[in-house]
Structure 1
C-alpha cells in the first residue's frame, strides 16, 4: 500500500498519543494498553501486542486487536520457541534491531508456521530494552492484507519501543523507591540533606528534623506548614517555584526540581537545591509530593566562579581571529581549530592529513618551504607572512607564528602554528607605500617648481630694482620737488622688490628643507667672536637705527655647529627684533654658557604677539594680526624652528602684546 500524506499524519498522531500516555498515565497496565490501541489504529494493523521475556518463557502482557481478529492474549502455548528455534531472529532483536517483512518471504519454516497459524501475512517486531537488557518486544501483525513497512515508520516505532522500555524501568525504580523509603529516611536524617512531604489534600507539610538546621532553626521553631516554607523563600524566586510546583501537579511538566534561595534565620540567603516526586492513588489522582532539599550554597559559589572563568575563556575564544593548528614535520595537518571555517571557509575535518604547502600561493611557496626547512633544523620559533588559498579559491594574507612540538627526548616531532588574517594590514601597507611614492614625487615636483620659480623671479626683480636705481640717476637735472617725488616712488619699488626677494629666498630655503636637501656641515666655532662679527656685519649699519646690546655670561665652551644654518637663525630673529620694535629700546642678545649647552636669548621691547595667536607662531605663512603694516613673509619663524630642530636645539618664546618678546634658543655643544 503506498504511503500518503494521510498515512503519515495517522502515523505521527499514533506516535504522539502513545508518547503522551507514557508520560501521563499512572498505571503501567493502562499506559501500555493505551499505547497499543493508539498504535494499532493509527498504523492500520490487525493485531498489536507486547511480549515479555520472563526466564524461559515468553509471556503475552498486553494486546490490541482489530474487530474480527482473533486474540492470543490468554494463549498459554507461547513458550521460548523463538529463542530456541529462531536464534538468528532473536540475536537481531537482542542487538536492538527491528524485524519486519512478509511471512511468505521468511526462510525459517518454524517461524512461518507459527505466524501462519495466527493468519499473519506481514509483521513488524521492535525490541524493548530495560537497563540495557532485552526485556521483550512490540509486535505489529497484518492478517487481512499485506503491509509494506516504510523505513521511517519502522525507525519511529523502534524509538517508541525504547520509550516504553524507559517507562517500564521507571516503574521498577518507583516501586523500589517505595520499598526502601525507610532506609532513605534513615540516611537523610544522618546526612546534611533533608526531606519534605507535601500533602496535596490538606496542604500540610512535613519536614525532616535536619531541615530547619539548614536555615538556622531548631525543631521547635519550625512550623510544619506551607506558609512557613513560602515566607522563607526569596521573593524573586517564589513565583517561579510555585508555578513549577503547580505545573508538576497538573502533569504539564515532567519534573519538579531546581534551585532557589531561602532566608536563613540570621538574615542572609542560602541556595537550596530542591527535588520532588509526585505520588498518585490507584485512580491516578495526585495525593502527595515527596522531595529533598540540599544546601548547595558552596557549590553555587564554585559554579559562579567557574562560570566567570568559562565566560572569560569563551570571550577570548570567540574574539580571537587566529587559526590554531598542529602539523607533522612534513607539514600535514593533524589538528585544526574551528576558527578556520570563518577565516578560510574550510571545515576542520577537510584539512586533516593535507599539507599546508599545497595551499600556499606559488609566488610564496619557495620562501615558505625554505623557511620551514630552516625552522625544523633549529629555530625554536618563527613567523612568516604569505598568501593562502581559501575554499573559494581566492587568496588572503596570513601571518603565521610557529613553535616546535617536542617529545620526551627533546626531539622535534611536530609543529604548532597560530595564523591570523592580515590582509587588511598588507593592503594598508601597500597603500602607504603607494602614498609615500606619490608624496615623494609631489615633493620633487614642488622642489623643482620652487627652484624654478625662485630663479625665474630673481631676474625680473633684479631688472626692476636696477631700473629704479637708473630712474634715480636720471633725475639729477629735475627740480627738487620732482626729484623728491620720484625718489619716493623708486624707494617704494625697491622696498617691495626687497620684500619679494626676501619671500623668494625664504620659500627656496623652506623648500630645500622640506625636500631634505639641506645637509649639516658641523665645525668648531669661537662663538663669542662669531656673534660679534655677525652683529657688526648685519646690524651695525645704516639700515638699523640704534645698536644691539650683547651680554655674555659663563665660561666660554667649545661649540660645534653648522655656521650657515645658525647664521640664518640668528639674523632672522635679530631682524625681527628690530623690525617689530621701531621707536623702542634697542634689542638685547644674551649668551649664557652652561655645562652641557649654550643659551642664546634675543629680547625686544616691541609690539609683542597677541596671546590667542602664539599657538600659530611656527606655522608656515602665519603672521600676527598686529603686523599687517610691517613687511614680512610669514616663513621666518617656521624656518627658524626647522633649523633649530635640525641642529638638535630647542626654541622657547615668551611674548606679551605691546610689551615685547623674548626668544630663547638652547643648543648642545656637540652635534651627533
Structure 2
C-alpha cells in the first residue's frame, strides 16, 4: 500500500515538474530579452517543487582566466538569497574542480552533500547550508556556457533519474536559446556593419526587373541625388528623367550592345541631375541576370559617386590655368624643399625655365645673408603659421632680385607634412622705392633737426636785442614823463607801437620754438595726477589776473571733482593760448566764460568769448599753422596758437570742437579722459 502511495506521489511530482518545464520552455520561446527568459524559466521550473534554491552559474573570462558568476536566482520561502554575494562571483574552476570537469563532459552532477567525495565542493556547499544538490550543464555552440544549480537546504533528497533527465532537458533548451541569441546577435552585427558600410559608401545599386518593369534602388542612390527613400519611385521613368538626355542616349546604345553581345561590358560615366538642380557625376557598370532558360530577367547597375573626383580634376585644371596665367611664381616642393612643380612665369621672373629648376634646392639660389632668415621661416610655417618673407634670389643672367614669398605646408591624411606650396612675387622695384623713401625721410629728418636748431638759435639771438628795444622804449616813456603834455602826446604812440611790435615778435618766437620742438618730437609727455580745480585757479591768477582792459575770466565749475592724469606743461600751453585769444579778440566786450564740467569718464573744458568771431569761409583753415583770419590784421598774433592747441590736445588724447560766428563770438570745447593710456 505504501509503495502504491509513493509511486502515486512520485508520478504527481513528475507531472508537476514536466508541466513547470513546459512553462519554462514557453518563456524561453516567448521572451525577447534573454535575461528575462532565463529568470522566468527557472522561476517556473521550481514552483511547487521540493527545491529550496535554483540559480545559474555563468562562465566569464576575467583577465583571460575563466571564472563562474552567480546569476538569475529563485528562492523558496524562508530561504535567504545569495545574489550579490562576493564569494559566489568570480569563483575559479579549481575551487569546484570535481563539479567543473563533470559538467564539461555534458554530464549532470547530483546527490547528497555528505555522500560526495570532493572535499572542495562539500566545503563550498556546506557553507551555504546545502544538504542536497543537482547541477546540469548548459552548452552554447558546443562550448560550455554555465550550469543550473538546484539546492535543498532543509532535508536530503534522492534525485530520481526521471527528474535529472527532465531538468537536464531544460538546460539543453536554454543552450538552444543562447545559441539562437548568439546567432541573431551576430546577424544583427553583420547587418549593422553592412548598413553602415552601405550608407557610408559612395556606391549605389539599381536593379531593373524586366518582367515587372519595376526598379529597386539601394538607399544610397536616393541620397546621392539629394532625395530621401520615400521620395523616389520604383518606376523606370523616374530613373530615366534624372540622366541628362545626351548621356541617356549613349547609356542606352551601350546597354543594347552589351545585351546583344556586341560589347563585353557596359560601363562609363553619366551626369545626373541633383534635387537642388546642379549636376553630379557618377561612374556606372552593369550586370545581366538570366533565368535557367537563358532569358534576360534583370539588369543590375552599380553606380559610384565620382563627383568629388570630378571637382578635384576641375580644381586642378583651374589651378593649372591660374598658375600658368598669373604674374606670380607658383611652386610646389617636396618635403626636403626641392622644386617639384614651377609655373611657367618662372622664366619672366628669374630667367630660368621650370625644367632648369625642377628637383633643385631653392637655397642654392638664395643670397647667403638671407639663408638664416629662410631657416627660421621654415620653422614658422611648419607650425602651420602663414607669414610672408622677403629675400634675394639669384637670376640666371647674374645679379639678385628681391622676392616676397608666402608658403603653406601640404599635409597627408595622417597629418604628416609631405611638401610645401609657395607663391613668389618680384618686389625689387618696391624695395628700391622703399630705400629711396627711407633715404628721403632721413634727409627730411636731418633737415628738420637743422631747421629746429636754427630757429632755436635765432630765437635766442633775437630775444636779447628785443629785450633791449623794449627796455629803451620804457626808458623813453620815463624820461619824457615830465615833458609838456604836447610832447608826451607825440612821443607816447611811438613807444607804444614799439612795445606792441616787440610783444608780437616775442609771442611769435615763443610759439615758433614750441612748434619746432613738437615737429622734431622733442616734446615728451610727463603724465601725473593733478587737482584740476586748484590748477585752473592758479593758472588764471598767474596769467590773467591783470589784463590791460581790467576784465576777468568768469569761471564756473560743475560736477563731482575727480583727479585728472595729464601733462601739466602741455595743459598750460593749451589753456593759456585759448584764454589769451578769448581776451585778445574780444577787447571792450563781455567777460569770457570758462566752464569746467566733470563728466562720467572725461573732463569737459568750455571757453566762450563774445569777440569778433571768425568769417564763415575761413573756419576750415583755423588750425593751420601761421593762418590768421582776415578780421585780425590789427591784433597782435602769430597764427600758431590754435595749431599748437590742436597738436597738444591730440597728444593728451583730447578732442576739440570749435563753433564761431563773425561779430558774435567763439565757443571752444575740449574733452580729456581722466586717465591716459
TM-score by length of 1: 0.51
**CA deviations over 1:492-519 (Å, ceiling 9, x no partner):** 1111101100000000011111111112
- 8 Å CA contact 1:544–1:578 kept in 2: the answer is no
Q: Which one of the candidate residues 597, 600, 605 is aligned to 1:600?
A: 605
Q: Which residue of 1 aligns with 2:657?
A: 652
Give the alignment partner of residue 548 of structure 2, picking from 543, 567, 572.
543
Q: Verify: 1:320 aligned to 2:326, yes or no.
A: yes
Cα RMSD (Å):
2.9
Q: What is the aligned counterpart of 1:427 among 416, 432, 438?
A: 432
Q: Using the alignment, how far apart are the partners of 1:629 and 1:419 within structure 2?
A: 65
Contact kept? 1:329, 1:376, Cα under 8 Å: no
Distance 1:569 1:407, change over 3 A: closer
Match of residue 648, structure 2, among 619, 643, 649: 643
- Shift in CA distance, 372/620, structure 1 to aligned 2, threshold 3 Å: closer
Aligned residue among 385, 398, 407 for 1:393: 398
Deviation, 1:470, is 2.1
Over 3 Å counting, the alpha-carbon distance change for 1:611 and 1:381 in structure 2 is closer
Structure 1 residues 455 and 392, CA gap change in structure 2 (3 angstroms):
same
Conserved? CA contact 1:380–1:404, under 8 Å = no
Task: Provide Cα deviations, 1:121-175, integer angstroms capped at 9, x if missing partner.
Answer: xxxxxxxxxxxxxxxxxxxxxxxxxxxxxxxxxxxxxxxxxxxxxxxxxxxxxxx
Offset, 1:389: 1.8
2:529 to 524, 528, 539: 524
User: For 2:483, which of 472, 475, 478 is the aligned residue?
Assistant: 478
C-alpha distance in 2 between matches for 1:516 and 1:479: 55
CA distance in 1, matches of 2:671, 2:643: 17
Question: Structure 1 residues 389, 552: CA separation in 2 closer, same or farther (over 3 Å shift)?
Answer: same
Matched-pair contact (CA < 8 Å) for 2:331–2:421: yes
Aligned CA distance change for structure 1 residues 378 and 608 (closer, same or farther; 3 Å):
closer
Partners of 1:351 and 1:310 in 2: CA distance: 22
C-alpha deviation, 1:317, in angstroms: 4.7
In structure 2, the residue matched to 1:341 is 347
Deviation at 1:428, TM superposition (A): 2.5
Cα deviation code 1:225-263 (max 9, x no counterpart): xxxxxxxxxxxxxxxxxxxxxxxxxxxxxxxxxxxxxxx
CA contact (8 A) 1:331 1:355 kept: yes
Residue 595 of structure 1: how far off its partner (Å):
0.8
Q: Work out whether residues 398 and 419 of structure 1, in 8 Å CA contact, stay in contact via their aligned partners in 2.
A: yes
| Aligned-partner Cα distance in 2 for 1:633–1:456 | 19
Whether the aligned pair in 1 keeps the contact of 2:603 and 2:673 (CA below 8 Å) is yes
Equivalent positions of 1:124-273 (< 5 A) are none
3-state SS in 1 of match to 2:406: strand
1:454-473 paired onto structure 2 within 5 Å: 454-473=459-478
Q: Distance in 2 between matches of 1:488 and 1:574?
A: 27
Quote the Cα distance in structure 1 between the aligned partners of 2:613 and 2:548.
Answer: 22
State the distance in 2 between where 1:358 and 1:659 align.
77
Gap runs ≥5 in structure 2: 1-243, 247-310
Asked whether the equivalents of residues 406 and 424 of structure 2 are also in contact (C-alpha less than 8 Å), the reply is: yes
CA displacement at 1:540 relative to structure 2: 2.3
The 2-side partners of 1:667 and 1:340 are apart by 57
Q: How many residues are treated as equivalent by the alignment?
A: 369
1:570 equivalent in alignment to 2:575: yes
- What TM-score, normalized to structure 2? 0.51
Candidates 352, 359, 362, aligned match of 1:353: 359
Counterpart for residue 596 of structure 2: 591
1:614-658 CA-to-partner distances (Å, cap 9, x unmatched) read 111100000011111111110000001111111111110000111
**CA contact under 8 A between 1:321 and 1:421: conserved in structure 2?**
no
1:502–1:377 Cα change, 3 Å: closer
Is the 1:336–1:352 contact (alpha carbons within 8 Å) kept by the matching residues of 2? Answer: yes
Q: Deviations over 1:331-355 (max 9, x none)?
A: 3322111121222222211222222
Change (3 A) 1:354 1:522: closer
Q: CA deviation at 1:367?
A: 3.6
Q: Where in structure 2 are the equivalents of 1:38-53 lying within 5 Å?
A: none
For structure 1, the 5+ residue unaligned runs are: 1-190, 194-304
How is 1:101-112 mapped onto 2 (pairs within 5 angstroms)? none
- The residue number in structure 2 matching 1:332 is 338
Distance 1:318 1:549 in 2: 76
1:620 aligns with 2:620: no
CA deviation after TM superposition for structure 1 residue 476, in Å: 4.2
